[in-house]
Amino acid sequence: MTDLTRIPAPDGVAAAAQYTHVVMGTGRFVAVSGQLPLDERRELVGPGDPGAQAHQVFENLRRCLAAAGATFDDVVKLTYFVTDMAHMPAIRQARAVHIPDDRLPASSAVQVSALVRPEFLMEIEAFAVVD
């Protein structure tokens, strides 16, 4: 686990809700491509269920981070691509299983008209810094 500095509310910037404005670290940069709600057999997990899809996406992120020698403690940025912002509570619930509120990374959430397959409700990418 790398030492990360988190600045939740820089001077003159409104306090963040559900993310940290600035996360800094030193070390090796790890970029994890957007993960989808597919299991290891490339089968969709949770058709129409944002909670089940979010849990699968975070499990895929965890496995990708581990392959790079990283954990969620090393994540400095998450980007959420969702087909409906109404899915964000389910995503936050899945995220809470892996990332405690006092270690939230910088984040962006973008609503998109579609993902690569119509049954995907979300795609999430991660950036980490590892010692």
Tokens of 76: 């400095």
- Look up the CATH number of the domain holding residue 102: 3.30.1330.40
The residues with which 31 forms a beta bridge, in sequence order, are 127
Beta carbons of 129 and 98 less than 8 angstroms apart:
no
Structural domain includes residue 32: yes
- Number of structural domains found in the chain: 1
Beta carbons of 97 and 55 less than 8 angstroms apart:
yes
Structural domain includes residue 3: no
Structural domain includes residue 87: yes
pLDDT for res 1: 65
- What count of other Cβ atoms lies within 10 Å of the Cβ of residue 40? 7
- Cα(34)–Cα(67) distance, rounded to whole angstroms? 15
Structural domain includes residue 100: yes
Which amino acid, 103?
R
Q: For residue 79, give the nearest of 121, 41, 117, 35 by alpha carbon.
A: 35
Host domain of residue 29? 22-130
Q: What is the pTM of this model?
A: 0.91
The string of pLDDT tens digits covering residues 91-107 is 999 999 999 999 999 99
- Cα(46)–Cα(83) distance, rounded to whole angstroms? 15
The string of pLDDT tens digits covering residues 36-71 is 999 999 999 999 999 999 999 999 999 999 999 999
Structural domain includes residue 114: yes
pLDDT for res 104: 95
Structural domain includes residue 101: yes
Tokens of 120: 């995907």
Structural domain includes residue 52: yes
Tokens of 7: 């600045």
